[in-house]
Amino acid sequence: MTDLNHDIDKSSDEPKHADRGVFSLNLDRSSAIPAYQQLKFHIIHALSTRRLRAGDVMPSVREASQLLGLAPATVQRTYGELRQEGFLDSKPGHYVFVTGLDSRRADRADQNRYSSLRDVLVPVYVNARSMGFTDSEIMSTLEDLTAHEEVDRSKPRLAFVGLGRSVVDKYVPILADALSVLGAEVVGVELDEFIASDGAVLEEIGPVHLAVSLVSWLSEVREIGARRGIHTVGLLVEPSPETKRVLVSYPYGTKIGLITEPRYVTNVAAIIEQLCGPQVQVVTVVEDSAVSKKTLASCDVYVRTFRAEELARSLLPPGVEATEFRVLPVQASLEHTEALLLQHWLEAE
């Protein structure tokens, strides 16, 4: 028989105890599936996901019953069935240990699990149909109920609201890394969706302790957040070190063509002029047109913002590249965000 887990280490005198975290589960006391069977399926699942491995020593019946809040007889029944089915074994007078999970037993266990699941769902399905709901309505509701992963409420949770998917994808990992010391979970939401739902999208993805956006659109996020009782903070950004080096290297009299979106024109142009000094001229282009192309034709170099890559490609001749005006969060702003997230998380607890 082929064992899908590691073989038991018979050479070791000291048995390896199973991770007690495996027994941190909330049994559904109201379920039609008996508690002993819920525990049994949970242990089999832990085997299939390798949280339990062949040779691991299980908690004693008394210890497991205390960990789970179950009667010892319930745990004893679970252990007994798992021994009969070959998942567990025991040394007389010593301890119960895991034997492994071969493909035949795994298939049989899955059949039993799905049979129990069917027993739970059939009455619900029949009741829903008797109330006039169609199969498609029932399936749609089930999909809505399972659309989001279970939220870990033990961690602080932050939502970054960004202008478009590209911005969200850029800043979510930056924030996750900066807040890793808190073990924070960072989720991303597009600004259009946030505004269209009037902030309800945050409630749909679970409890959020703080919403963060770039200061460019903070007022919109803050107004909606206030109505929803969601704390908000703006994330300050600055040009990256590489962007600064490129800009300050431009010689006297350089004419810079700035390709950007309307909402960024004033801020980005001001930063470029501040870094380059009064000796440079900045002209801005925000749309694809013949006038824009003519304006850029007289420029010496080209700079574009993050979301203006496609616009720059359409305006500039083939082979001509625009330097990206890259920005990164200000460290002090990240630290402020971390402090606020911790504060609101602790208040929620």
Backbone angles phi, psi at 27, to 5 degrees: -75, 140
Strand stretches in the chain, DSSP E: 88-90, 96-98, 157-162, 185-190, 210-214, 232-235, 237-239, 255-259, 281-285, 301-304, 323-324, 327-329
- How does residue 10 score in pLDDT terms, banded at 50, 70 and 90? very low
Token reading at 69: 């809040």
Q: What's the average model confidence in pLDDT over 306-333?
A: 91
Q: Where are the alpha helices (DSSP H) in 29-102?
A: 35-48, 61-68, 72-84
User: Residue 324: what pLDDT?
Assistant: 93
DSSP 8-state assignment for residue 56 = P
Lowest-confidence pick of 194-208, 241-255, 305-319: 194-208
Count other Cβ atoms within 10 Å, centred on residue 9. Answer: 12
Token reading at 127: 């009741």
CATH 1.20.1250 for the 239-328 domain, yes or no = no
CB of 257 within 8 A of CB of 295? yes
Q: Whole-number mean pLDDT of the chain? A: 82
User: Residue 299: what pLDDT?
Assistant: 94
| Closest-CA residue to 58 (of 46, 70, 71) | 46
- Domains of the chain, by residue range, sit at 1-147, 157-236+331-348, 239-328
Distance CA 185, CA 148 (A): 14
User: Residue 161: what pLDDT?
Assistant: 93
* Residue of 215 and 9 predicted with greater confidence: 215
Count other Cβ atoms within 10 Å, centred on residue 40. Answer: 24
What distances in angstroms separate CA 70 from CA 40, 62, 82, 151, one per listed residue? 13, 9, 17, 26
What are the beta bridge partners of residue 158? Answer: 186, 210
CATH number for the region 1-147 comes to 1.10.10.10
Burial class (CB in 10 A: 0-12, 13-18, 19+), 143: exposed
User: Mind listing the pLDDT tens digit for each residue in 68-94?
Assistant: 888 888 889 988 888 888 888 887 667
- How does residue 14 score in pLDDT terms, banded at 50, 70 and 90? low
Q: What's the average model confidence in pLDDT over 94-98?
A: 81
CATH 1.10.10.10 for the 157-236+331-348 domain, yes or no = no
Per-state percent for the chain, helix, strand, coil, to nearest 5: 50, 15, 35
Domains 157-236+331-348 and 239-328 share a fold: yes
* Residue of 25 and 263 predicted with greater confidence: 263
* Residue of 348 and 214 predicted with greater confidence: 214
* Residue of 91 and 136 predicted with greater confidence: 136
Lowest-confidence pick of 98-112, 150-164, 218-232: 98-112
User: Mind listing the pLDDT tens digit for each residue in 28-43?
Assistant: 666 667 888 888 888 8
pTM beyond 0.85, yes or no: no
> What 3-state DSSP class applies to 219?
helix
Distance CA 99, CA 11 (A): 16
